[in-house]
Structure 1
């Protein structure tokens, strides 16, 4: 039976604690100057090193060479308090979650009056101190305020505001923080080398994300993945399946479908999420994080690896390609809509319905009257002008439907050409990563049995012209321009009304011959009456 990673690699000195230099450095300075307080309060999120630092502080205080910032590790006190040691009678750890009443406080006060058995100090480490009742804190108040010279108190808690003010005012408060991803990534790489485990690219960032900055939670996730790895190889597919995150390939497909306004591809991806049993809310979180990555890639394409640490190079290149397809305004709108939908999905009875409504809102920028929606529509128009030629002119009668026309995807052919190039680059990168030969499309060669696609020029294509009708078939009442031309050439003729049969079926009417103009008949004058 193996020991858990977070227990096996628990630090024994302040130098081994990662990500808490703002706490360890002042404590080591105080130990070096022998200005140690009688009571300390360590607060911070779970798994960030509060209890471990309390044990290291007790080890430094009771070392034969101490008080010292670096324990010797060879004296009886250091050996007993080391990681995996039996413990010391002079260092008492109390779980306040089950010993936080008045009677427990009185018992602690009575034990504190006795001198230490062997070491220099008798140290009480009270874990989960926020669980101590107000009466229990009041019972400890006098001894915490004026303890004997051989007594030290260390309180550890995740909720320091629940510790009464009279206790907090008598302690030195050190707030712990979550460990940053960069320090945690380097630490995990060292542990994997010690465990002789080969970890694929992109796995450790997923582990760090699952741990949420807590060292203990991160090591627990890594321990679970290592236990399920075969032949000492931890691959990306296993980590994705076990942690429940969305595969990067599916996130690429969602981004490209939104760029192409491909509703079938987008809703097909959503159906795959539902059919595989993944959590819709987790999928929305992954999509929102992908939009965040694309926004960063749009802002700084050259230094992307400095922000997204630990991400494989092929995924970074994929993000750069996708960010080049979409405008900044459209990306910002996607992120805003997704963030709002994620908040609305909390406690929803039908997550799939909310997910599909989110997809519909993402594809319709004109459905919202906001600045982000307007910026997204401008991005589409700019992309149309840059890739699809001149914009079509609007008649006065079509001005009312201009808003509806802006919602449609401008020049979907050009958009699909850009997305197809990105798909080919992604397929080539995946083939290189897997060690398989690149597909023919990614190498620029046509597949056997298929015709090579013809590259269309980027300028606007001419519209096919209708065959000209004979001169005798042109009716002056149908078009204003021919009427004007005929009036200029033949001012003496008067346009005749078109029969109803010719208006209904113009293609079936025979060519009409020019009709002679009837002469006006003189009107009879009335005769005067006698």
Structure 2
């Protein structure tokens, strides 16, 4: 019968304790100068060396050459207290989980006054000391405060806060810590060499990750893997399958699918993981771990050289491409979503459903209206601008064409002047300028700085807000860019944006440069069509996002007939005509209120009345309240 690895390789001296130099060095100095305290409190996570260090301390105190920081290992006491030794009657280990009552404390107090039988000191090692009751600690208080010269106490616990403060104040407290991954990996590799077992670097990384800084847990896992390994040794695939981690190839496929916005690929990976019997929460943890690594790679390109990551070079190249394809803001947003989803998974009765909802939200950046979501959409627009300028994004993944919008159309030159806003004028309206000597309102200041809606940009070096394309887009391209179109419409005319999101409106058809927009009710369709600037705002937004000249046709979803009825059109791309002011007038008179300035429905007062049914009237009443709020926000003078 073989001995377990965590027992076989248990440290016998302080020099063999790994990752706890902040504890072992002070203890060795105290032993070297014979200044050992009568009571110690060793605290820290499980499997990090607390009980082993207590045994080494007892061994160092009772060595024939001691007290010494380095036990000789030859004398009878050292042989008895070795990891594989029979033990010593003067070194008593007590499990407080089952012997923490007041009667056990009284029995210990009575036996402690007897001198040691064969050793220099009698040492009590009380494991799981936080399980001792308050009455038990009170029974030991006087003994711990003033013990006889031959008595030493070592309390070991994972929860030092539960130890009675009066006991803690009479001890020297040494906090143990989790072993760093690099130190634990080196220790496990050395043990594999001693055991003559071949192990792949990827499998060793999984053991270190599963051990989570605990040497005992890591050795138990390694022992299990070695016991079931074949002639090829411990492989990464075998370790991942046994420990329940996601295969690296599936993880790469999921991450690259998320970077491309490829929903079918990501959901196929989720199905493969579930069909293989893996835990959805573990898969989400693996995704979060990879996102963390990508954030580190993006922020610190030489992370392996700095010791922040320990991955093979070929994996680093792949991770650099993935980080570049995501973008820093998108990585942060994705990590936040997965982290929040993991919290929702805790205790969930449908973990697969929660996992699929996490994936769905990762694939729809526009659904997140928070600060991170806005930054992610802005970063996406900037990346698309980089594509439209003729270059490719650094680190672009294969099959990038499945991203948010098409990227293979001919692009406009970067320094070419870009037209903004609708190019169809409103007949009879004079161009408005602020009066001479008067302070312009906030709205007029914004309009004068931005220029008229249809006027060409004066500064040809200014970059457009979103990418533009010369060729008309198909319906699929319009649908992919529809969220950006709605955002651009909101910047031009909030009333039009509110009408489009009420229902919401849908893209019914795209015929060349004509787009057919369907509304859920006739009232919404007429409300949108009666305001000419609504169609101009939508057409201008399409030009901003997709380029070209666009005409708008509106219809009612579910209506019958040979085709959608054209209730209004708007074209964008040509210079907008303006009425000139009279030469005798001098400065222009203050402008008349525009539809956006009017409270209520936001349409011109000369528009014909709209006949609505009772249900449509209720729908419009709700809409009016929303539109009134948005119009008031616009009219800040």
TM-score category, normalised to shorter length? 0.7 to 0.9
Question: CA separation in 1, counterparts of 2:419 and 2:92?
Answer: 83
Question: CA separation in 1, counterparts of 2:384 and 2:571?
Answer: 32
1:127 corresponds in structure 2 to 127
1:406 corresponds in structure 2 to 484
Question: CA separation in 2, counterparts of 1:291 and 1:276?
Answer: 23
Instruction: For 1:142-291, list aligned pairs within 5 A.
Output: 142-231=142-231, 233-291=233-291
2:615 corresponds in structure 1 to none
Is 2:39–2:144's contact at 8 Å kept on the other side of the alignment? yes
Is 1:365–1:407's contact at 8 Å kept on the other side of the alignment? no
Give, in angstroms, the shift of residue 346 of structure 1. 0.9
Question: CA separation in 2, counterparts of 1:299 and 1:103?
Answer: 59
Question: CA separation in 1, counterparts of 2:178 and 2:259?
Answer: 37
Question: CA separation in 2, counterparts of 1:146 and 1:462?
Answer: 87
Question: CA separation in 2, counterparts of 1:167 and 1:462?
Answer: 76
| Compared CA separation, residues 152 and 334, structure 1 to 2 (3 A) | same
2:29 corresponds in structure 1 to 29
Please give the secondary structure, in 2, of the residue aligned with 1:58.
helix
Question: CA separation in 2, counterparts of 1:195 and 1:343?
Answer: 40
- Bigger mean CA deviation after superposition, 284-293 or 320-329: 320-329
1:322 corresponds in structure 2 to 322
2:336 corresponds in structure 1 to 336
1:436-492 CA distance string (max 9 Å, x none): xxxxxxxxxxxxxxxxxxxxxxxxx999xxxxxxxxxxxxxx9999x99xxxxxxxx
Is 1:377–1:407's contact at 8 Å kept on the other side of the alignment? no
Instruction: For 1:423-442, list aligned pairs within 5 A.
Output: none
1:54 corresponds in structure 2 to 54
Question: CA separation in 1, counterparts of 2:73 and 2:570?
Answer: 101
1:274-314 CA distance string (max 9 Å, x none): 11111111111111111111111111223335445442222
2:364 corresponds in structure 1 to 364
Question: CA separation in 2, counterparts of 1:162 and 1:255?
Answer: 43
Question: CA separation in 1, counterparts of 2:190 and 2:41?
Answer: 31
Please give the secondary structure, in 1, of the residue aligned with 2:201.
coil
TM-score by length of 2: 0.62
Give, in angstroms, the shift of residue 395 of structure 1. 5.3
| Compared CA separation, residues 243 and 177, structure 1 to 2 (3 A) | same
| Compared CA separation, residues 397 and 404, structure 1 to 2 (3 A) | farther
Question: CA separation in 1, counterparts of 2:340 and 2:297?
Answer: 22
| Compared CA separation, residues 122 and 387, structure 1 to 2 (3 A) | same
Larger Rg: 1
| Compared CA separation, residues 97 and 393, structure 1 to 2 (3 A) | farther
Question: CA separation in 1, counterparts of 2:115 and 2:222?
Answer: 43
| Compared CA separation, residues 360 and 106, structure 1 to 2 (3 A) | same
- How many equivalent residue pairs? 419
| Compared CA separation, residues 353 and 103, structure 1 to 2 (3 A) | same
| Compared CA separation, residues 232 and 93, structure 1 to 2 (3 A) | farther
1:33-89 CA distance string (max 9 Å, x none): 101111111111111100000000000000011111111111110010011001011
| Compared CA separation, residues 407 and 366, structure 1 to 2 (3 A) | farther
1:452 corresponds in structure 2 to none
Moved over 3 A (4+): 303-310, 388-399, 401-405, 478-481
Question: CA separation in 1, counterparts of 2:571 and 2:360?
Answer: 43
2:406 corresponds in structure 1 to none
2:74 corresponds in structure 1 to 74
2:15 corresponds in structure 1 to 15
Please give the secondary structure, in 2, of the residue aligned with 1:72.
coil
| Compared CA separation, residues 318 and 181, structure 1 to 2 (3 A) | same
Is 2:90–2:119's contact at 8 Å kept on the other side of the alignment? yes
Give, in angstroms, the shift of residue 387 of structure 1. 2.1
| Compared CA separation, residues 480 and 357, structure 1 to 2 (3 A) | closer
Question: CA separation in 2, counterparts of 1:366 and 1:381?
Answer: 12
Question: CA separation in 1, counterparts of 2:102 and 2:216?
Answer: 32
Question: CA separation in 2, counterparts of 1:305 and 1:397?
Answer: 56
Question: CA separation in 2, counterparts of 1:119 and 1:382?
Answer: 75
1:101 corresponds in structure 2 to 101
> Which ranges of structure 2 fall in alignment gaps of 5 or more residues?
390-410, 413-417, 425-452, 454-477, 487-545, 549-568, 576-637
- Bigger mean CA deviation after superposition, 111-120 or 304-313: 304-313
Question: CA separation in 1, counterparts of 2:346 and 2:305?
Answer: 33
Is 1:130–1:159's contact at 8 Å kept on the other side of the alignment? yes
2:83 corresponds in structure 1 to 83
| Compared CA separation, residues 74 and 397, structure 1 to 2 (3 A) | farther
Question: CA separation in 2, counterparts of 1:480 and 1:186?
Answer: 69
Give, in angstroms, the shift of residue 233 of structure 1. 0.9
TM-score by length of 1: 0.75
1:394-453 CA distance string (max 9 Å, x none): 754999x99834289xxxxxxxxxxxxxxxxxxxxxxxxxxxxxxxxxxxxxxxxxxxxx
> Which ranges of structure 1 fall in alignment gaps of 5 or more residues?
409-460, 464-477, 485-530
